[in-house]
């Protein structure tokens, strides 16, 4: 990737998280990165194209986290899943507890942009598929009962996480994320384990 494009995408990751899409001004982006307007349009067709490519760059980071945590065979599968969300919580902390960029853009744009709605839903589905694979490994090891549906549990986890991420942003605190993880990996999975087959 060319240095100019990388610089723009890195700045875009931070600015979209802080400001959202509608308050992200291309002029502000160019000024902050010292990029001529012509260079921006050399790399991106439009503001929408830029933001969608920022989402793709964000997913590269997410996949790195998924790979690092979910492939760690020194931990049992359920702890691998939890470790991914704990690492994500820690990243939110480094960003000032602004929550999840995907969730923020989804709330802002899903009702007005089909392109964003589809891209962000695909991102959540992708994350969910990786988590479900790890939950399937937990089921195979007997950590979850045989009747458990890993895809349903994965979807529930992501839905709960995104709600907690919004509260994390509102409160500028990791407390909603920690409470949600404790609930999910304690009460919710415990209830799943106690349900009759």
- What confidence score (pLDDT) does residue 45 get? 95
Cα(120)–Cα(106) distance, rounded to whole angstroms?
A: 6
Answer yes or no: CATH 1.10.357.10 is held by domain 46-194.
yes
In this prediction, residue 187 has a pLDDT band, given cuts at 50, 70 and 90, of confident
Residue 172 has pLDDT above 50, yes or no: yes
Residue 197 has pLDDT above 50, yes or no: no
Cα(11)–Cα(55) distance, rounded to whole angstroms?
A: 12
- What confidence score (pLDDT) does residue 192 get? 54
Coil, strand or helix: which one is 24?
A: coil
DSSP per-residue codes, 74-115? TS-HHHHHHHHHHHHHHHHHHTTS---HHHHHHHHHTTT-HH
- What confidence score (pLDDT) does residue 188 get? 67
Residue 99 has pLDDT above 90, yes or no: yes
Phi, psi (rounded to 5 degrees) for 108: -75, -35
Ranges of each domain in the chain = 46-194
For 137-152, the pLDDT digits (tens) are: 999 999 999 999 999 9
For 42-98, the pLDDT digits (tens) are: 999 999 999 999 999 999 999 999 999 999 999 999 999 999 999 999 999 999 999
Mean pLDDT (the chain) is: 93
Coil, strand or helix: which one is 146?
A: coil
Instruction: Average the pLDDT over 176-185 and give the result.
Output: 96
Instruction: Average the pLDDT over 156-173 and give the result.
Output: 97
- What confidence score (pLDDT) does residue 189 get? 75
């Amino acid at each position: 990737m060319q240095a100019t494009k990388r610089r723009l995408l890195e700045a875009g990751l931070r600015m979209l998280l802080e400001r959202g899409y509608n308050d992200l001004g291309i002029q502000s982006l160019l000024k902050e990165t010292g990029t001529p307007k012509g260079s921006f349009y050399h790399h991106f067709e439009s503001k929408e194209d830029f933001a969608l490519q920022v989402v793709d760059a964000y997913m590269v980071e997410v996949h790195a986290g998924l790979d690092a945590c979910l492939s760690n065979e020194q931990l049992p599968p359920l702890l691998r899943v939890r470790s991914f969300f704990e690492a994500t919580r820690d990243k939110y902390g480094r960003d000032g507890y602004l929550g999840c960029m995907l969730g923020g853009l989804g709330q802002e744009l899903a009702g007005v942009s089909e392109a964003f709605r589809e891209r962000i839903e695909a991102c959540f589905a992708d994350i969910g598929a990786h988590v479900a694979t790890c939950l399937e490994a937990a089921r195979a090891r007997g950590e979850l009962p045989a009747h458990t549906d890993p895809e349903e549990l994965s979807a529930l986890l992501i839905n709960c996480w995104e709600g907690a991420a919004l509260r994390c942003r509102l409160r500028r605190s990791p407390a909603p994320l920690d409470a949600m993880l404790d609930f999910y990996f304690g009460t919710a999975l415990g209830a799943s384990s106690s349900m009759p087959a």
